[in-house]
Structure 1
């Protein structure tokens, strides 16, 4: 809250990524590895051996055996995974988001390249007869850049330098005028994060199978998995932020969509113990207790609005967030004359 830091200061940025994010990364790593090996081997009866793996301009000018074409990108992916592990283990504080960006961009690049190679060689008698490469390369590079950027932005939300936070203590804190302060906290549901990763891999597998020509699937069968993956991802984590502007609660790895309340819109704040059974389950729940974002049982930050409704979110260090909000609310009610 003030420029002077105390020994008890902590921020969520200092904590490691939630276990669910780690499991999701593991599922992504294993899934990409399986796809890289399975795509050419599944279609081996429709591929030449050797098959074209390099193009000079639009025409093929290099080849590999079918076995090498399956194992070489898998080995390169294993190196990228180890690099991401090292980035997270040793340089997470200095390069937040780098590990996530490495996995996302590398996985998209390699699976996209493998898909285009299989598609170009499919039903060809010789590797020299492989289809030319064109717009596929541009699309793969664009998708790789976009995946890396989004993963980097999401990863930075759980890394970086510490930010000042209010000192612990009473239900309300004194906030001197002109002081800069911020309170940050987050929570994640590891099972929802893992479910998002698994559903996303199923959707990606379907898309790659269709794009490579290995299988003929109706896009309608793939779409539900993609939608379910995105919905699970958006509901799997939440981030609460208290500043002089009030309370902001963001959902998903990018903190969007988000809800915001200014101090003038709030009546009070408190920390309260709640369980999933009390609020009707996990996720975004509306019942007699009001609205609850329940990602893990335990202490929740609960705010009561001027309209008389309650909004609760299960985040760490809820007592401190409630104390700061109460101080802000009290400030708005002080006479200004």
Structure 2
């Protein structure tokens, strides 16, 4: 988990850095040198400038410092929620600001003749940064500790008055990487459109954003068994969620499955029923209404034993 956090921070850091540096460079000779970088609050016209390369390198250096500090923290343990929120919101804010600067300066003969940065545009950018921060904070939610150890076998004894909880999770780093790359491509296309470098970016941005969301939802999973039954949450934010009441689960078991047998990676539906395949090996399989649902998580035998022993299933 620690290595995954380091790679996640590094990937986000590299993606934002590419956008911050790449947007003004992609504009080529369409930007003046220097470029307008500050606008007065009254008239809305530019009242400050910076050399083109300084405008490229200054936000890049700010971002490198922020991302490097987060990556160092990820090496020492899970990042706290406030750190992930800061990393997400700062990255979006820097990239959005760079897009606004490029758009305002595009095709201007001199920085004093740069276009204005509208108040609604700033408000939207800040709102998106706040949402990104909230998403980063949600990613930092600590998973609750696993319940007490249970005996081997298809069933276990649950002492009277006690409640046991079983938790397990799994993730596919390659699917997470693919989803992240698709998301960064969508963000890059959106910012390029906002900067005026692309006309009508939505035909490109919308499919990329949808594909990124679909891949990320299928890239990780968290399963939880309580006295109510089974809950399986998908994606880095734990949403969407599928739930099965204990009384509806006919049986539960652990079973070895491979991606080839399941029909591939991710959310698969075939003759076996439904399989959430993130890695080959042990899967928790529940039968509900005559159909199987399987999810590839660790310690599946214990989860199945607890499901088969819930009071709601005892005749």
Same fold judged by TM-score > 0.5?
Answer: yes
Map 1:121-136 to 2 at 5 A. 121-133=105-117, 134-136=119-121
Aligned to 1:167: 149
Distance 1:234 1:17 in 2: 21
Task: From the superposition, tell whether residues 284 and 123 of structure 1 become closer, same or farther in structure 2 (CA, over 3 Å).
Answer: same
Q: Which SS does the other structure have where 2:140 is aligned?
A: helix
Aligned to 2:293: 311
Aligned to 2:132: 147
Map 1:208-223 to 2 at 5 A. 208-223=191-206
Matched, 1:205 2:188: yes
Return the offset for 1:18: 7.0
Q: Which stretches of structure 1, 4 residues or longer, exceed 4 Å deviation after superposition? A: none
Map 1:279-318 to 2 at 5 A. 279-305=262-288, 307-318=289-300
Distance 2:3 2:157 in 1: 32
Q: Which SS does the other structure have where 2:208 is aligned?
A: helix
- TM-score by length of structure 1 reads 0.86
Return the offset for 1:322: 1.2
Return the offset for 1:319: 1.6
Map 1:101-140 to 2 at 5 A. 101-133=85-117, 134-140=119-125
In the comparison of the two structures, how many residue pairs are matched? Answer: 311
Task: From the superposition, tell whether residues 229 and 22 of structure 1 become closer, same or farther in structure 2 (CA, over 3 Å).
Answer: farther
Q: Contact 1:182–1:241 at 8 Å: present in 2 too?
A: yes
Q: Which SS does the other structure have where 2:309 is aligned?
A: helix
RMSD between superposed Cα atoms in Å = 1.9
Return the offset for 1:218: 4.3
Aligned to 1:326: 308
Task: From the superposition, tell whether residues 333 and 223 of structure 1 become closer, same or farther in structure 2 (CA, over 3 Å).
Answer: closer
Q: Contact 1:88–1:99 at 8 Å: present in 2 too?
A: no
Aligned to 1:256: 239
Aligned to 1:194: 177
Map 1:232-271 to 2 at 5 A. 232-271=215-254
Distance 1:149 1:28 in 2: 16
Task: From the superposition, tell whether residues 240 and 17 of structure 1 become closer, same or farther in structure 2 (CA, over 3 Å).
Answer: farther
Task: From the superposition, tell whether residues 334 and 190 of structure 1 become closer, same or farther in structure 2 (CA, over 3 Å).
Answer: closer
Q: 1:34 aligns with which of 18, 35, 43?
A: 18
Q: 1:90 aligns with which of 67, 76, 81?
A: 76
Aligned to 1:4: none
Q: 1:185 aligns with which of 158, 161, 168?
A: 168
Distance 1:222 1:333 in 2: 48
Q: Judge which range, 107-116 or 55-64, deviates more.
A: 55-64
Distance 1:82 1:124 in 2: 35
Distance 1:129 1:244 in 2: 67
Task: From the superposition, tell whether residues 333 and 318 of structure 1 become closer, same or farther in structure 2 (CA, over 3 Å).
Answer: closer
Q: Contact 2:2–2:77 at 8 Å: present in 1 too?
A: no
Unaligned runs of 5+ in 2: none
Deviation per residue, 1:251-274 (Å, 9 max, x gap) = 111222111111101122111111
Unaligned runs of 5+ in 1: 1-15
Q: Contact 1:18–1:188 at 8 Å: present in 2 too?
A: no
Aligned to 1:59: 45
Aligned to 1:9: none
Distance 2:36 2:55 in 1: 9
Q: Contact 2:37–2:101 at 8 Å: present in 1 too?
A: yes
Return the offset for 1:49: 1.2
Deviation per residue, 1:172-220 (Å, 9 max, x gap) = 2211233233211111111111111111111111111111012335421
Q: Which SS does the other structure have where 1:185 is aligned?
A: strand
Deviation per residue, 1:108-134 (Å, 9 max, x gap) = 000000000111111222222222222
